[in-house]
A and B are shown apart, each in its own frame.
Chain A
Amino acid sequence: RKEVEQDPGPFNVPEGATVAFNCTYSNSASQSFFWYRQDCRKEPKLLMSVYSSGNEDGRFTAQLNRASQYISLLIRDSKLSDSATYLCVVNMGTGGFKTIFGAGTRLFVKA
């Protein structure tokens, strides 16, 4: 089992749609969680941090469920500019300090 698994995608949605990405992680001692966005041939950039209490930033909402070891990202009212690959990221501080990126889910938003 991979340490971080994401929906394989790609997701093809029309403008204005709501889209949800899911991610699971295997290490229950994982410390911190993020969603990053990566545009084609560019470096990843932070989209938002993920907390158990939930985190909302405009059209984006992220949620962490530690009991189920599950992370989600919801995008409302999708824009063409949201087209990118979304990466789930988990930091593990026990059993070795390392950051694990999910394989990413590609999103295509079409007019």
Chain B
Amino acid sequence: GAGVSQSPSNKVTEKGKDVELRCDPISGHTALYWYRQSLGQGLEFLIYFQGNSAPDKSGLPSDRFSAERTGGSVSTLTIQRTQQEDSAVYLCASSSNFGNEQFFGPGTRLTVL
């Protein structure tokens, strides 16, 4: 079956622009996660959705970051007024429920010039 997909695979933007990253989870997975991985670094947890709601948004780095999920499926991560330090690979994962095995998408590589 189809795995987790993310789009775009690569995004180059100018400092100060807004970007929107998309994640399509595995069908039927109620839990969806966003992470950020800077070059040579570990994964930084950003946010988790159970259905359409996010119980804890404290992992988002700043108020420029927001995320939503609609229909218990697709999720978008929006970064407003991008900064160079936002450059990283943004990974999305889904699982059948929180705490179960997570399946990752290929990530979106964001470069802010």
Interface string of B56-92 (1 = CB under 8 A from A): 1011000000000000000000000000000000010
Contact of B55 among A43, A49, A96, A103 (CB under 8 A): A96
A42 to B59, CA, bound (A): 23
Kindly state whether residue A32 has any CB partner on chain B within 8 Å.
yes
Kindly state whether residue B99 has any CB partner on chain A within 8 Å.
yes
Minimum Cβ distance to chain A for residue B6 (Å): 9
**Given A96-B58, A98-B45: A46 and B33 within 8 A (CB)?**
no
Give the number of residues in B that approach A within 8 Å (Cβ atoms). 23
Kindly state whether residue B106 has any CB partner on chain A within 8 Å.
yes
Give how many A-B residue pairs fall within 8 Å (CB-CB): 48
**Given A96-B55, A97-B55, A97-B56: A46 and B102 within 8 A (CB)?**
yes
**Given A43-B91, A99-B45, A99-B48: A93 and B105 within 8 A (CB)?**
no
Kindly state whether residue A101 has any CB partner on chain B within 8 Å.
yes
Please, which residues of chain B bring their CB within 8 A of the CB of A46? 101-103
A34 to B103, CA, bound (A): 12
**Given A43-B105, A96-B58, A99-B33: A31 and B99 within 8 A (CB)?**
yes
Q: B interface, by DSSP: helix, strand, loop or mixed?
A: loop
Q: Which bucket holds chain A's interface residue count?
A: 20 to 34
Can you give 21 A-B contacts (C-beta < 8 A)? Answer: A32-B99, A32-B100, A34-B101, A43-B105, A43-B106, A44-B43, A44-B91, A44-B104, A46-B101, A49-B101, A87-B42, A93-B98, A96-B58, A97-B48, A98-B45, A98-B48, A98-B59, A99-B33, A101-B43, A103-B42, A104-B42
Beyond contacts A31-B99, A46-B102, A91-B98: 13 other A-B pairs, Cβ-Cβ < 8 A, are A34-B101, A43-B106, A44-B43, A44-B104, A96-B55, A98-B56, A98-B59, A99-B45, A99-B48, A100-B45, A101-B35, A101-B43, A103-B41
